[in-house]
Chain A
């Protein structure tokens, strides 16, 4: 099992919701951001390309940050996630330099003022100190929301399928540009997307074997506009509808009045 993410560059809108969701999920200090959005805007004279590359820790299979860590604070879990034991980390920052993707942040005091720097902490921040204590003087990065994955799997939920076992950023993304699943399972949604849409990793030349893949394509050109049955019936929401059988003209009329 190796958890992975596929990011759809055609769909991403640079909306920043993933960033906000991650900040909430992990009570991130004011000046720390685990996922980032990198803009790529080019004009080669005949073709303009406006793209956004959402990046986060790639949970590399061959992770230089783990190799560089002198205390084994950075380690690789069995499910492929690169995690950090903050009690072991002593802040040498070798990993920050070792990560070729610049996905690690050293949490200095400067990065950790109150949300409203000259005011008291908000209740959310105070609660965060209890529920998700960040340790100033250690290094942080995206952890693929392994808290959610672990808690979900204990309840037999499937990461990437069941919300409560899926990363927060994936859940919130409005265009569904983020897909999560098991890269080792050839039938998982991520494996299929990578296969069918020629998924690629960023800077494969670094040789770290990232678990975050990207797909890109042109929008439009879909062969059929027929709505599948689930969409027609609105099956996932139909139970919320309050108007029944308006095909009976009377009721429809009543609503028009």
Chain B
């Protein structure tokens, strides 16, 4: 009789959070499905399900290795964990002694659960130079929400716990329906759609629900701030604002009125290339049919005006009183276990650390707790070597940062780098040492959800391959070696520490063992609190945790940092308006905002089931635009801009704005050789993006709004392996099978 065993866990194949039920038979995972007794009701997406091809994937990194050739040559030799960890720790100690802790950079990707560890390691070492993709994903919105409302974690109430679902919903440059990437589970969003009166999609290309929504607005990429200002203009003109909220709880209402005065629907129509009726209609729906929510997509944070765009959108929330009301934007009460970031926040960033943050003097909102990666690249290229040791985990800076050529050249100059990951990839190839990481099915850890009303448990289902270890273990081992007083004996001790504020079954502090069985620590239903500003929650006598105690349309704090205290619109660095001459040569507005539901950023092109859904990175053009430029559906095309050119497969798509090309972001090819960093120059749109024009507050580059031209690639220009592979059963060349 076969031995069947069921293990419950939490998926982390995207930002995660779906409850998972895994069945093992004689120790082998034979089934994965959603856990019906979870907040996601037993549903899962293709990424999470395809984990089955992750765990036994022959291309997994299994052992620590050191580079024995030149960076990027792909010559590796197996070493022991001790050698790997000691080498890294020694390099760190030497850097601290010789140059100071700020010359160590700790970097991460969007996070397979290690955010807290990255930040704690950086702080415990004494460096503020953490490198994260936050500045192009999620951080700007948190920072701006915090600036305006005093509390950064403002999320859409799709739950109905307060008695109402949102009546008007805006999806702004976001496809929540295909990803739980901000941990607002698409499952919740889609259930709330059964109660929505107005669904507004703002996206230059049709996402899944665009053509069935009440209103679909297709702004020119990079002009979203103007649209938000225009909507506010209508709200002022037509006196649609929430009087009670504005009169009692806001600051700067008249100044904002003055600011948006010029942004008439006509003007916005000109800027955004949309009918003026769309601005008016959206404003009316938003302000009249309250409560409502705005789900912001990170495409808006990949633009060099992201600070003001998000500021404008937040003001829009306030004008309609869509703050803290059931069915609007709410900052959730934390679970018993408290704020999970306290794990790193408890180690403060000192003024000394702050003063050494790269880019900190310039990007006063973004580079206060993490460095500005683009500035770091420029400094490395300039030869002043601000970073001596780079400890990289998971992220693919080479892929997601602007101007790939410069990023590669800069990273090759870093004296010593290590990279931790599940597979070989561009960043691993640039490293001196690679460490093999465990998949979420192979580790115990605490899952932290963005909206912070719950945490969950990742429970180890099976053993990792070879000598792969969990990120938590790796961080702890490095920490222990360099700053032992800030780290733990075992991972379990560290997990116990993170959840200690919860209540264990014996009434004492919650322990990992019990949490792992319980799976969740959360707060919802009648336990959540709305309208916190009307209670003592944030302030004695009510109010917001801002300097004025109000919701700040105008921010004096921003002014004191040298920024405009009110939202302002600025054109992208390269656009038909800001660079008309360039536009003559590159007549298409380009965005790298095209995402597919089965890839998560740079990941999963080596998972056969997922790769089968789209073999080649694909770009989209309206059929008429394609015709205009002589390219056809199915062509492999060159997309060329002032800094270079890439090839993607063209799909004509009537759901995209005319004159706009939307390319798939974050693509490299695991099957391409190490030389050339796994084909990162073949199709990755960041070969085309610029790192010269950055958001003044956050330092974010224009990744989703630039200019390009398009033409068909000739057959003889398609030499790389990836173009020869007709079938998706591709064969990545790099394997440790024989080691």
Contacts and interface: CB of A to CB of B under 8 A. Distances in A.
Contacts of B338: 255
A231 interface: yes
A174 to B, nearest CB: 4
A171 B163 contact: no
A117 B41 CA distance: 35
Contact of B211 (A49, A123, A126): A49
A253 interface: yes
Given A50-B206, A222-B194, A16 B529 contact: no
A20 B525 contact: no
A1 interface: no
A238 B731 contact: no
B319 to A, nearest CB: 20
Interface in A207-253: 217-228, 231-238, 240-247, 249, 252-253
A122 B159 CA distance: 40
B442 to A, nearest CB: 13
Query: Which residue, A126, A173, A223, has most C-beta atoms of chain B within 10 A?
Result: A173
Interface string B445-483: 000000000000000000000000000000000000000
Contact of A220 (B178, B213, B291, B327): B213
* Interface bin, chain A: 35 or more
A131 B2 CA distance: 11
A253 B167 CA distance: 30
Contact of B160 (A171, A176, A232, A256): A232
A10 B208 CA distance: 9
B613 A16 contact: yes
Contacts of B41: 236
Contact of B527 (A48, A118, A244, A249): A244
A226 B162 CA distance: 9
Interface in B36-67: 36-46, 49-50, 52-53, 55-59
Contacts of B336: 242-243, 255
A124 B50 contact: no
Contact of B197 (A49, A128, A221, A242): A221
Contact of B502 (A19, A220, A227, A242): A242
Interface in B584-608: 597-598, 608
Nearest to A113: B729
A238 B524 contact: yes
Contact of A221 (B31, B214, B525, B737): B214
B333 A255 contact: yes
A48 B45 contact: no
B520 interface: yes
Contact of B327 (A15, A219, A225): A225
A119 interface: yes
B50 A227 contact: no
B28 A127 contact: yes
Interface in B178-197: 178, 186-187, 190-191, 193-197
A232 B729 contact: no
B525 A233 contact: yes
A30 interface: yes
Contacts of A218: 212-214
A157 interface: no
Nearest to A173: B43
A119 B737 contact: yes
Nearest to B515: A242
B2 to A, nearest CB: 9
Q: Is the interface of A mostly helix, strand, loop or mixed?
A: loop
A238 to B, nearest CB: 5
Contacts of B163: 226-227, 232
Nearest to B45: A17
A41 B212 contact: no
B538 interface: yes
B503 interface: yes
Given A15-B45, A15-B178, A123-B28, A241 B522 contact: yes
Nearest to A163: B36
Contacts of A220: 193, 196-199, 213-214
Interface string B144-187: 00000000000000011111111100000000011000000011
Contacts of B326: 227
A12 interface: yes
Nearest to B160: A227
B516 interface: no
B609 A225 contact: no
B209 interface: yes
A11 interface: yes
A159 to B, nearest CB: 15
A231 to B, nearest CB: 4
A58 interface: no
B731 A117 contact: yes
Contacts of A161: none
Contacts of A221: 197, 214
Given A218-B212, A219-B212, A225-B166, A252 B597 contact: no
Interface in A12-59: 12-17, 19-21, 23-25, 30-31, 33, 41-43, 47-52
A19 B46 contact: yes
A26 B56 CA distance: 18
Contacts of A226: 163-165, 195
Contact of A252 (B38, B56, B537, B612): B537
A19 B598 CA distance: 11
Interface in B524-569: 524-529, 535-538
A174 B43 contact: yes
Nearest to A11: B190
Contact of A43 (B33, B623, B735): B623
Given A41-B655, A242-B336, 15 more contacts: A11-B190, A15-B597, A20-B49, A20-B50, A24-B33, A115-B609, A118-B731, A163-B42, A172-B33, A219-B214, A225-B196, A226-B163, A238-B524, A241-B523, A243-B336
The 8 A-B residue pairs with the shortest CB-CB distance, nearest first, are: A227-B160, A234-B525, A43-B654, A122-B56, A231-B160, A243-B523, A20-B46, A13-B208
Interface of A: 10-17, 19-21, 23-25, 30-31, 33, 41-43, 47-52, 113, 115-120, 122-124, 126-128, 131, 163, 168, 171-176, 217-228, 231-238, 240-247, 249, 252-253, 255-256
24 contacts: A13-B186, A14-B597, A17-B44, A23-B609, A24-B33, A30-B608, A48-B206, A48-B654, A123-B28, A124-B28, A127-B26, A171-B34, A172-B44, A218-B214, A219-B209, A219-B212, A220-B214, A224-B195, A225-B291, A238-B525, A242-B520, A246-B523, A253-B537, A256-B538
